[in-house]
Structure 1
Amino acid sequence: MTAFVPGLELARTLYDAVRPVLAERGLAHTAALVGPGSDVLGLDDATSTDHDWGPRLQLLLSAADHDAQAAGLHEELRHRVPAQVGGWTTRVAPAASDGTRGLGDTAATGPVDHRVEILTLDALLHRLLGPVDPREPMTAADWLVIPQQRLLSLTAGAVFHDDLGLAAVRDRLRWYPHDVWLYQQAAAWSAIGQDEHLAPRAGMAGDDLGSRLVTARVCRTAVQLAFLQERQYAPYDKWLGTALARLGSTAPLRSALAATLAATDWQDRQRRLGDVLVELVRRHNALGLTAPLPERTIPFHGRPFEVVDGSAVAGRIAQAVTDPEVRDLVRRPLVGGIDLLSASTDLAVDLGRTTELRRLY
């Protein structure tokens, strides 16, 4: 079996093979690996190699050069890209019925059906962000309708050469504007405030499954909030735990989350969830965004349910917003960005609905 090589490393090696062709043609270009894929996030492993993985690269040309040379360049690369880089074939298999593509036949000969994708910066940005152009002024609604996974997929990965300004776009999208960041945190705290007392109530009523389900939902919101507190975009759910573990400061939170989800009765579960929420308050206080908040739980309306009153935390954060556009948002129910609003994958990937989603804000 061929030894695994991370996709980002293969992309860099592939660019080294492509660069002389571009130099001969005198082409200004940007070469990168961004967009969907565990390889872009540096989370690929041997399991990732079964589909939509392998030596690949995005090659960006100016609009004029793309019109004049893209087709010819693609064909020339078919003859000049090596059959393997890093021990992995550069050939791609035909698309499967679900649209995914595996590695090509390593025994094949002749021109290479390669994964060097030739496009323009405009085309790449539209593919990842839809109608939101980050080179133009962005509204708060623009930021909120873009799933964090998409922002992450554009700002992660690697740029190997940049004549056309992709690095500047990535820098601009590196993190939310300050008050949009506050809004996102306030919305997450509001969601916690709406849910934090429900799990023990379900458990008290004898619904242990309901208690577990609500607890899991609060824990997921807690993880989303933790990424916001770290000023890091959250990946989609498959990688949430893996990416959270890369953030060293989240160790106490991860320990509390694990204990909460492992609890076998609702009383222990609510105590453990209280540890999660108090840790989130501690992390909030360390940010210095508001006056310090109590790092303890309190009873919910005299019932034996321990909460931190996430709604009150949300209100404190909302008071710190100064941007007029975001001030208008915090006066309304705090629905949050698209990731907090919905876990629907179909909604997150449907860029055709971006304009409609803006109306939520």
Structure 2
Amino acid sequence: MTAFVPGLELARTLYDEVRPVLAERGLAHTAALVGPGSDVLGLDDATSTDHDWGPRLQVLLSPADHEAHAADLHDELRHRLPTELSGWTTRAAALAPDGTRGLGDAAGTGPVEHRVQILTLDVLLGRLLGPVDPRGPMTAADWLVVPQQRLLSLTAGAVFHDDLGLAAVRERLRYYPHDVWLYQQAAAWTAIGQDEHLAPRAGTAGDDLGSRLVTARVCRTAVQLAFLQERRYAPYDKWLGTALARLGSTAPLRSALAATLAAPEWAERQRRLGDALVELVRRHNALALTSPVPESTAAFHGRPFEVIDGAAIARRLTETVTDPEVRGLVERPLVGGIDLVTASTDLAGDVDRTEALRRLY
């Protein structure tokens, strides 16, 4: 069995083969591996090799060069690329009914059906961001309507050569502007405040399943908030725990969340969740964005439900917002960015609905 090689390493090796062909044509270009894929995030492993994986690369040309060279360049690479790199075939299988591609037949003959995408920067950005163009002014709504996974997919990965300005775009999108960041945190705290007392209430009513479901939702929001506190984009759910574990400062929070989700009954679940939320408060205080928040739980309206009052923390954060557009947002219900609004994979991936989603803001 061929030893696994991370996709980013394969992309770099593939560019070494593509670069001489571009040089012979004298083409200014950008070469990168960005966009969807666990390989872009550096999270791929042997399991990832079954679909949409292998030596692959994006090559960006100017619009004029793309029109003049793209078709011929694609065909030339079919005839000049090696059939394998580091033991992995450069051949892509035919498109499957579900839209994915597996590895091609390494023993195949003839031209290589390769995974080098030849695009323009406009096309690449359109695929990842839809109508949001980071090369011009961006509104708060622009930032909030693009799922963090897509922002991450453009700012992660690697750029191997850059004549056309992709690095500048990545730098522009590195993270949210300060007041958008405050808004995102306030929205997450609001969601926690709306949910944190519901799990013990379900427990006292004898609804253990309901208690577990609400607790899991609070834990997911807590993880989203932890990424915000770290000023890191959160990946989609498959990689939330894996990516969080790469942030060493989150170890106490991860431990508390794991204990919460493992608790066998609602009273212990509430205590453990309180530990996790207090840890989030400690992390909030360390950011010094507001006056200090008590690092303890308190009874919810006299009931035996211990909460940290996420809504109160949200109010402190919104009071610090100065950007006029974001001030308009905090004067309305704090729905948060699209990741907090919905967990729908189809909606998050549909750039054609971006304009419709702007109406949320």
TM-score (norm 2): 1.00
Tell me the residue number matched to 1:133. Answer: 133
1:237 corresponds to: 237
Opposite residue 158 of structure 1, the aligned amino acid is A
Secondary structure of the structure 2 residue equivalent to 1:279: helix
User: Deviation digits for residues 59-78 of structure 1, max 9, x if unmatched?
Assistant: 00000000000011111101
Instruction: Give the structure 1 partner of residue 22 of structure 2.
Output: 22
Aligned-residue offset at 1:110? 1.5
Separation (CA, whole Å) in 1 of partners of 2:100 and 2:261? 34
> Equivalent residues in 2 for 1:68-79 (5 A)?
68-79=68-79
Q: What are the within-5 Å matches in structure 2 for residues 7-156 of structure 1?
A: 7-156=7-156
Per the alignment, residue 175 of structure 2 pairs with 175
Query: Which residue does 2:291 correspond to in 1?
Result: 291
Once the two structures are TM-superposed, the CA of residue 158 in structure 1 deviates from its matched residue by 0.2
Cα shift at 1:346: 1.1
The residue aligned with 2:4 is: 4
Could you report, residue by residue, the CA deviation over 1:254-299 in whole angstroms, capped at 9, with x for unpaired residues? 0000000000111100000000100000000000100111000000
- Which residue in 2 is equivalent to 1:274? 274
Whole-Å Cα distance in 1 between the matches of residues 78 and 23 of structure 2?
A: 17
Shift of 1:120: 0.2
Q: Secondary structure at the match of 2:304?
A: strand
Which residue identity does 2:192 align to in structure 1?
Answer: I
* CA displacement, residues 183-214 of structure 1 (integer Å, 9 cap, x when unaligned): 00000000000000000000000000000000
Q: For residues 221-256 of structure 1, give each alpha carbon's deviation from its aligned partner in whole angstroms, at most 9, with x where no partner exists.
A: 000000000000000000000000000000000000
* Residue identity opposite 1:287 in structure 2: L
Deviations 1:108-143 (A, max 9, x none): 112100001000000000000000000010000000
Q: List gaps (5 residues or longer) in structure 1.
A: none
CA distance in structure 2 between the partners assigned to 1:350 and 1:114 by the alignment: 26
**Helix, strand or coil at the partner of 1:305:** strand
Cα separation, 1, equivalents of 2:73 and 2:350: 31
Residue type of the alignment partner of 1:6: P
Q: Deviations over 1:150-204 (max 9, x none)?
A: 0000000000000000000000000000000000000000000000000000000
User: Does the residue aligned with 1:98 lie in a helix, a strand or coil?
Assistant: coil
- d(CA) in 2 for partners of 1:117 and 1:161? 15
Aligned to 2:306: 306
**DSSP-derived class of the 1:359 partner:** helix
SS in 2 for 1:299: strand
- Partner SS state of residue 100, structure 1: coil
Tell me the CA shift for residue 350 of structure 1: 1.1
Determine the structure 2 residue equivalent to 1:359. Answer: 359
- Gap regions ≥5 residues in structure 2: none
Give the AA of the match of 1:235. P
- The one-letter code of the counterpart of 1:123 is V
Q: d(CA) in 2 for partners of 1:299 and 1:112?
A: 66
Q: In the alignment, does 2:207 pair up with 1:207?
A: yes
CA distance in 2, matches of 1:86, 1:155: 26
Q: TM-score, normalised by structure 1?
A: 1.00
**Which portions of structure 1, spanning 4 or more consecutive aligned residues, are displaced by more than 2 angstroms?**
none
What residue number does 2:263 align with? 263
CA distance in 2, matches of 1:334, 1:317: 12
Encode CA deviations 1:83-113: one digit per residue, 9 max, x unaligned: 0011100000001110100000111112100
User: Quick one: distance in 1 between partners of 2:88 and 2:145?
Assistant: 38
Output the amino acid matched with 1:342: T
